Amino acid sequence: MNAGFFGLHGLAWADLLQLAGHFAMLSLLAVGGAITTASDMQRYLVVENGWIDALQFNTSIAIAQAAPGPNILFVALLGWSVAGPLGMVATMVGIMAPSSAITLVVGRLRHARRDALAVQAFSVGLAPLTIGLLLATGWVLALPLVQHPLSLLLVPATIVFMLKSKRSPLWMIAVGALVGALGWA
């Protein structure tokens, strides 16, 4: 096999299995979607292992979120950035397989017992967990902005724009792109 084509990028097979295993563990925590675990993905890929840098991490998420298709595409881009096609397969199988199997089983049980108080309490209890995970993800993605004050001003400006106007959020994305292209952020 040609390692260049399959894209281990210097990662050992044991590292690839560890990558898949970590994403499988995150799959079990991804209440509210894979994006809720992005803060731990960043810790694992950037801080702990140094396989990619913070810019590659944020760029992978930005590209995947801007592209049409499922939101989970960012996991594929992260895997590709770490270890090429094999990294992409490792992260996608890791993030999809455990949660899909559990969803199938629990979904059937929940449907059969949807009137039970425990099932309703469990469903309601997941909301604060999801919000907390999303806040952690937002924090990790916003950290690089601290170095660029103008970027920090774009965040509240976007919030105000979205609350006060009925215009498309694409306008603020265009403003952010212009600020970045001019090198101001």
Kindly report, residue by residue over 96-154, the tens digit of the pLDDT.
999 899 888 888 887 788 788 887 787 788 778 878 888 888 888 777 777 777 887 88
pLDDT in tens, 153-171: 888 898 899 999 988 888 9
**Torsion of the alpha carbons at 61, 46, 30 and 62, rounded to the nearest 10:** -10
Instruction: Please choose, from the candidates 63, 61, 19, 16, the residue with its C-alpha nearest in 3D space to the C-alpha of residue 44.
Output: 19
Break the chain into its structural domains and give their ranges.
3-144, 148-185
Instruction: Please choose, from the candidates 10, 26, 164, 159, the residue with its C-alpha nearest in 3D space to the C-alpha of residue 91.
Output: 26
Rounded to an integer, what distance in angstroms lies between the CA atom of residue 42 and that of residue 26? 12
Instruction: Please choose, from the candidates 25, 65, 33, the residue with its C-alpha nearest in 3D space to the C-alpha of residue 129.
Output: 33
Rounded to an integer, what distance in angstroms lies between the CA atom of residue 124 and that of residue 38? 23
pLDDT score of 8? 55
Residue 69 is given by DSSP the state: S
| Alpha helices in 32-169, H assignment, sequence order | 38-42, 54-66, 73-112, 117-142, 149-164
